[in-house]
Amino acid sequence: MSNSRQGIGMTSARTRERLVQRLIDQGIRSDIVLNQIKNVPRHLFVDEALASRAYEDTALPIGLGQTISQPFIVARMTEALLAGFEGESVLEIGTGCGYQTAVLAPLVKKIYTVERIRELLTKTRQRLRDLDIYNVQFRPGDGWEGWRKYCPYDGIIVTAAASSMPEKLLQQLAPGGRLIIPIGPKGKQDLTMVVNHPDRFEQVSLGPVSFVPLVKGK
C-alpha cells in the first residue's frame, strides 16, 4: 500500500463523518450500517487516481466496465437486508471490488460471493484478506445461477441489475429470508426486496437505482 493511499485513509475522518451525515439526511437509520460506512476504507477499493473522491456519495469506475456502488445504495441495501435478518449466511451476487462485501462482512457470520469476472475476483480476494476479512467464500460464476451448494441462504444481495427476477435465486432463499435486488433495464431499475413467507414471496419496492447489468453466462 502506498503512503499516499494510506494517508488519505488516515486523514479523512472529517470527510467520512460528512459522508455519514449525508446518509443520515437521506434516511439511513441503522447505527451499525452507518458505522461500517464510516470505518470501511473505501479509498482502498478504487484506483489510486480516484482515491481523493472515495468518500463522496457517488459511484466510481473500477475498471473492466464495472463500478463501485454509491455509499448510500450500499447502506440502503445492507440496512434493508439486515432489518429482518435472522440467520447466519448471505449470498452476494456480484463481488465487484468487494466494498459491499467489506461493509456486510462483520455484520453476518458467513458470506458466499459470486463474481463473473475472474480478474476482479482475484484482486478482491486479496484485498479483503489484506483487510483481515476471512468469513467470505469466493466463486467465479454466473450470478443468475446463484450458488446452490450452500443454500438455503438467510439473505441474498445482488449488486447488478437483473432484467427479470432470477428464479434460481428465489429457490435458494431460506424461509423468512430476504433478497435485495435491482430489477429492470437501464434508466428504469427498481431496487426490490423480496421476503420469503411460508405461502408466498412478498415484493417491496425500495426506490429507483442505477446499476450495471447482471450478465448471464460465465
CATH number, domain at 176?
Answer: 3.40.50.150
- What would the DSSP string read from start to end of 43-102? GGGS-GGGGGGTTSSS-EEEETTEEEPPHHHHHHHHHHHHHT--SSEEEEE--TTSHHHH
Within-domain flag for 214 = no
Q: Any catalytic annotation for residue 69? A: yes
Under 8 Å between Cβ of 153 and 112: yes
Tell me the per-residue pLDDT of 22-81, one tens digit each, with 9 for 90 and over: 999 999 999 999 999 999 999 999 988 888 899 999 999 888 878 899 999 999 999 999
Within-domain flag for 42 = no
Element (H, E) at 169: helix 167-171
Within-domain flag for 194 = yes
Tell me the per-residue pLDDT of 152-202, one tens digit each, with 9 for 90 and over: 999 999 999 999 999 999 999 999 999 999 999 988 999 999 999 999 999
**Which one is catalytic: 4, 12, 52, 69?**
69
Note the pLDDT of residue 1: 41
Domain count for the chain: 1
Within-domain flag for 147 = yes
Residue 45's CB is within 10 A of a number of other CB atoms, namely: 24
Within-domain flag for 215 = no
Within-domain flag for 29 = no
Host domain of residue 90:
63-209
Within-domain flag for 32 = no
Note the pLDDT of residue 4: 41
Within-domain flag for 45 = no
Q: What string of H, E and C letters represents the secondary structure of 118-144? A: HHHHHHHHHHHHHCCCCCEEEEECCHH
The reply to whether the predicted model has a pTM over 0.85 is yes
